[in-house]
Amino acid sequence: MKNILIYVKSKKKIYPSTSLGGIESLNLGLYKYLKTKENVTLTNKILHKHKKKTWDLIISSNDSKVFNKINSKRNILWLHNKIQIEKSIRKGQFLPMIFNKIEAVFVSKYLEENTSKIYNFSKRIVISNFLLDIFEKERINLKTKKELNFIWSVKRDYALNEVVDVWCKEIFPRNRKVSFHIFGVNKRNKIFKKYNIFFHGNVPKKTLIKFYKKSTAMICLGYDETFCLNAIESMSQGLPIISLGVTAVGELLMNNHNGFKIDEIGDLPNVVNKIINLNNTKKIKISKNSIKFSKKFHFSKIKKKWSFLIN
């Protein structure tokens, strides 16, 4: 059995834990799988006991500095985010990436293509993020009547103000039965409630799934996404996405198949109106397409790529 250390820098204890972010949850998912085959340690802090050992493999999420602190026969840098050169120098990540032999795993083709070749990785591999068990195991009844809820569950609020503005001025005045539910962003401005805009902040995955199941579509613009796990999660519950189709989201969106592409935020009112007016047969079809597409990211499929890489 290999001795493997999985490291993800976090303020939270990763295991056991009930409230984790996306990257933390992915590390936990990989850990649970690998520990059935190998001798695996998952940690959010590098301790003295970790430094005393020589590991067969270290898998570190976004942090290359760990490779200077611990002895390992193999180093895998699991890249979820962009690593701009200037920022990597400032954060002390650049030199460890240059002077250590590192295999890089990128979560999307977009991220791999937009990561400088100056980083002298021994391998550059694309392995997509995967759905967590809680989403895979849910059963979806497509005949259940959907509410006119539109969801925003991306924690970054870039361009959210523009979307809210369009909602208040154009979308809500056209149809006062629609609602916009925003998760992962904390705002408590009561003025938005009169436009059926509700801020929920961070909620458990089970709560989010309940909203996905009874909603109509999920808005994921995709300005700065290196994967957008939220898009796949919503598709797994039958929700198509509305997106600009740029960055890594372009790899996930098939227009009028599992979502709807817009060219600019100003196109949102027409697309929302289009979705609302689809007949039931077309709504069910696009929900089926979304669920089918999400199955490509079931861990049962993604884990094979990790097994091949590690072995």
- What are the tokens at 278? 């689809």
Q: Which two tokens stand for residue 89?
A: 């120098």
Residues sharing a CB contact under 8 Å with residue 178, sequence separation 6 or more, in sequence order = 148, 149, 150, 171, 172, 196, 272, 276
Burial class (CB in 10 A: 0-12, 13-18, 19+), 281: exposed
Within 10 angstroms of residue 214's Cβ, the number of other Cβ atoms is: 13
Percent over 90 (pLDDT), the chain:
83
CA separation (Å) from 94 to 45, 107, 120, 271? 20, 20, 10, 43
CA contacts within 13 A on the Cβ side of 162:
10
Pick the CATH number of 134-296 from 3.40.50.300, 3.30.70.2190, 3.40.190.170, 3.40.50.2000: 3.40.50.2000
Distance from C-alpha of 209 to C-alpha of 70, rounded to nearest angstrom = 39
Q: How far apart are the first and last CA of the chain?
A: 11
User: pLDDT (tens digit, 9 = 90+) per residue, 37-66?
Assistant: 999 999 999 999 999 999 999 999 999 999
DSSP-assigned beta bridge partners for residue 61: 8, 78
Domain boundaries, given as residue ranges, for the chain: 3-127, 134-296
Mean pLDDT of the chain: 93
Return the residue matching tokens 């898009």: 231
Confidence of residue 21 (pLDDT cuts 50, 70, 90): confident
Q: Which two tokens stand for residue 108?
A: 């999307």
219: closest CA among 152, 155, 284? 152
Per-residue model confidence (pLDDT) at position 93 = 95
pLDDT per residue as tens digits for the range 183-241: 988 777 778 999 999 999 889 889 999 999 999 999 999 988 999 999 999 999 999 99
pLDDT score at 1 = 87
